[in-house]
Structure formats: structure tokens, C-alpha cells
Chains A and B, each alone.
Chain A
């Protein structure tokens, strides 16, 4: 891999899924997505607008990403706040934003789970934070996108422990299953007829064998397999110097002590 990191490639992939003039939704604790949206805004999508969980605000301007300063982005510059009740019942269903979700588990049809992993619902091996709005908007929205910062068999599973996000499933009556997924290994979409996950491109240095070994179900494989386009010098400049100089986006790829150390480093720089 040349002079960019995997977090930068994921942000670039997210950015390139954004169309100028559309509305994107920003969940909580998803800095890779925030950085990708802002990158789109600064490059090819200047007329992008945002709805955010923090503040439940509509916004069309830009501020750098932070942790302690995160509210500046959404509260300091929002056009209006509507609150969660008004947002979930009225504004968001009407606006139909594009949103990137991070599944705890995802199956070959793009159904996903953010409630628990392993064991049973009442006695899980690991309880996850919860479904947020996923069990709502995946039922009726058309523009559901997914991202997985650390591709592995614990996430890409043959069988979900529970389906809290609706994918390409026969029970669907409205909306559309996920359109796209990016991980740290490649880009994927879902075949139109079967709804099955399909490899779109491999990230630099990643082999097909590695992707398939880290995926708990067979993928549809194109031939030939294109490489993921690399970030441009302009994109890297915006990500590193303008959007996220603190590197908040990298937290989503870190675990354990490395993550805690990075958190402390960012918090100290924010003082």
C-alpha cells in the first residue's frame, strides 16, 4: 500500500458514494462516516446537507471533527433542531436521508444485528448497545449503506443471532435493502435478483482468498476483480489537514489499549 492508511481509504470510499445535493444522516460514534461525508462536501458534493443524531439538527455547513468539541459541528452551526420525536416520526421519514450504518453482524443478504452476539437474547455472550433507529429506517428507507471497519467472521456471519436491521429479505414490503458496503478489505454491493452480497473491488494489497477467508458465507465474485480506486492527493489533504487533523476517524479501527491511548491523545490536543 502506498502513502495512505486504511481509515483514509474507507473515508474516501464513503465520500464517493455521496451524490451532490443529497441529504445524509449521521449516527453516533461514527467518525469514519462523518469524515467521509465532509470529504464529499469539500470535493464533489458542495450542496450536501446533514441531519445529525446530536442535536437532531439539520445542517449545511462544515466544522472539523472532534470528541469533546463534537457539538460544535452539529449544534454550533445547525439550521434547526427538531428533537428525536419530531425527527423519527416526521422529518426523517419524509426526508429519506442516505445513511451509513455499522452492523455488529451482517449476513449475505444485508440483514444485520446491533443487539447482541452469541448465546441467546436473554443470556448473550456480548450485549451490544442497541438498535438505535436501525430497526425503523431499514424497514422503509431506500438509501441504507453499510460499513465495517474491521472485516472478520465475527461480523460477516452465515446466521445472524437476531435480525434487527432489515436487508434483502422476503418479509420486506417497503423500502430497499442495503445498497453498498465498505470494509477495510474491499467494497461490496448486493446482486439485484438474489440480494446476495457481491464483491465490487479489493483494496490495495488485499487478496480474494483473504476476503473470503474472513467472510462467513460465500460472496459473489466478479471477474476480473477491479482494485479500489486510491485516494487522491487532494482527498488526503482534506482528510488530514482540514476535516480530521486529530485522527478521530482512526478510533473505529482500534481496540483495547491502542484505542484508549489514541482517545487520550486526542482529548489532550483538544484542550
Chain B
């Protein structure tokens, strides 16, 4: 008897708990789980004190910071690309109101690889000679036991929950990502709980798939779930809406924007 992983949105929202590290899939303004984040923030009781893990953080991440739900960020870029700075993050960071775990592309990539491999760190050459190590005193250097060279031991990175928006998913949690893989498969392998929101849900996807359902916890049918970010090739990013979001933030109306959608 096949088990279905399809669940209502309300069930998935309940899996995000206070003090967790929550990872978001996609990239900056592309295939982001905006619909899920908006629903999370529209609840009567919001989760508190979340740490955000994402490769490049964009609009929905900015909402999470602006509402105070996320108090710590872990990413290598937080902005709205050609649309400019992320207004709520920039203000919070400039006022010292948020804890930033500074990352780079390699430190995130190596940290995920370490976690997937079940080891505490992954060495690399990145950061050597820069001042990244001074703002990340938890990251250690070490001597390569074979060559004697100094390398950086990038610590393993995991998360409690990963939320990934996909084009299609099936009952087993297999999914299609649409050609912009980002770090979504890796997130699905390091997260304790994996939530997919999907434009379309089918009984069974034909091969090949992009993301295996073996570690997926639940699939939520959420059409337009990436809007106003893109879901290539189904829909492009909605630039006017992104500008409307920025204007709402600058006017001090973030909560109204979230409530009214």
C-alpha cells in the first residue's frame, strides 16, 4: 500500500518550531518558497528566534527578518539583486539587530558536503588571507596532514527544516526543479524535516527526477508558491511586485503587506 506524503499547508506550517534552523531553497529571486513564508507569517502565532540558512537570501528572507521571526542569518548574499538592497535586512543589520553568521559560496558548499559525509568539517583554500576568519572566530585553520599546508576547516552545516519550492512533485516526494538546482538537493539531504511546496502534484513522476523523495517529509500543493519570484519556465519574476514590496517596507508597512498579500 503506497504511502502518500501529500499534506495540507497547515500541517507543514506546524513543523516549523521556535529556535530552529530553517533552510529555504532556490536562489535570491528564483524559485523561492515565498508562498510558504507568507503563510507562516500570516499565522496567529508565529515561530520565534529562527536561524535562516540559505545560499542567497532574497525577498521572503527579508520578510522573515523584518518581522523579527528570524534573528540569525546564515548566507553568502542577502539582497534583491538588480532591485537593490533587501530593505529590512539592511536596516536590521545596520542597526545591529540581527546576528549574522558570515558565509561565502565555498563555506556553505563545504559545510553542506561535510554534513552529507557525516564528518565535522571539510577543508578548503577559501578565505585564507582575507579577514573572514576574524569575523568567524569559530572557524579554525589546520595543517594539511599530507602536504603541511595551512587550510581552513569549514564546519559542517545542517538544519532542522528545509522548505523547497518545486515545479512538480509526486506522492513519494520526488521532484522536478526546472534547471536552477541551487543547493536544493543538498538541503534535502542535510535537513531533519524536508517540506516541498509544488506548483503541481502528480501520482508518480516519470524519470528522470531532480530531487529524490527518500528524505522528503511532506509535499504541499501550492500553485504560484514562488511568486513574485520566478518559477522557470512556468512564470518569470514579477518585478513590479518586488518594487511594491520595497516601497511598502520603506513606508513602514511590511505587516500590512504580509497580511493583505
Q: B109-117, B191-199, B200-208, B215-223: which lies at the A interface? A: B109-117
Q: Verify A129–B27 contact, CB threshold 8 A.
A: no
Q: Mark B237-250, 1 if CB is under 8 A from A, else 0.
A: 11110010000000
Chain A, interface size category, equals: 35 or more
Assembled-state Cα–Cα distance A166/B90 (Å): 24
Asked whether A67 lies within 8 Å of B77 as measured between CB atoms, the reply is no
Interface size on B, residues (CB 8 A): 63
B78 touches A (CB below 8 Å): yes
What is the bound-complex CA distance between A169 and B113, given in angstroms?
30
Measured CB to CB, the nearest residue on chain B to A118 is B94
Give chain A's interface residues, CB within 8 Å of chain B.
28-29, 31, 53-57, 67-71, 75-76, 78, 81-85, 87-89, 115-116, 119, 121-136, 138-140, 162-166, 169, 171-174, 248, 251, 259-260, 263-264, 266-267, 270
Give min CB distance, A66 to chain B, whole Å: 9
Q: Report the minimum CB–CB distance from A72 to chain B (whole Å).
A: 9
Which of A81, A122, A169 contacts B129 (CB under 8 A)? A169
Interface centre among B28, B96, B233, B236 (most CB of A within 10 A): B236
Closest chain-B Cβ to A146's Cβ sits at a distance in Å of: 15
Q: In the complex, which residues of chain B have a beta carbon less than 8 angstroms from the beta carbon of A31?
A: 82
- Pairwise interchain contact A75-B81, C-beta atoms closer than 8 A: no
- B186 to A29, Cβ gap below 8 A? no
* Contact of B142 with A by CB under 8 A: no
One of A56, A133, A136, A260 near B181 (C-beta < 8 A) = A56
**Chain B positions near chain A (C-beta within 8 angstroms):** 27-28, 30, 55-56, 75-79, 81-86, 89-90, 93-96, 102-110, 112-113, 124-132, 134-135, 149-150, 178-183, 185-186, 230, 232-233, 236-240, 243
Residue contact A89 to B86, C-beta cutoff 8 Å: no
Write the nearest CB–CB distance from A35 to chain B, whole angstroms: 13
Q: What are some 11 contacts across the A-B interface (CB < 8 A)?
A: A28-B28, A53-B27, A68-B238, A71-B236, A75-B232, A88-B110, A115-B102, A130-B75, A166-B128, A173-B149, A251-B82
Q: Are B110 and A83 in contact (CB under 8 A)?
A: no
Question: Does B82 lie within 8 Å of A133, measured CB to CB?
Answer: no
Min CB gap A267→B, angstroms:
4
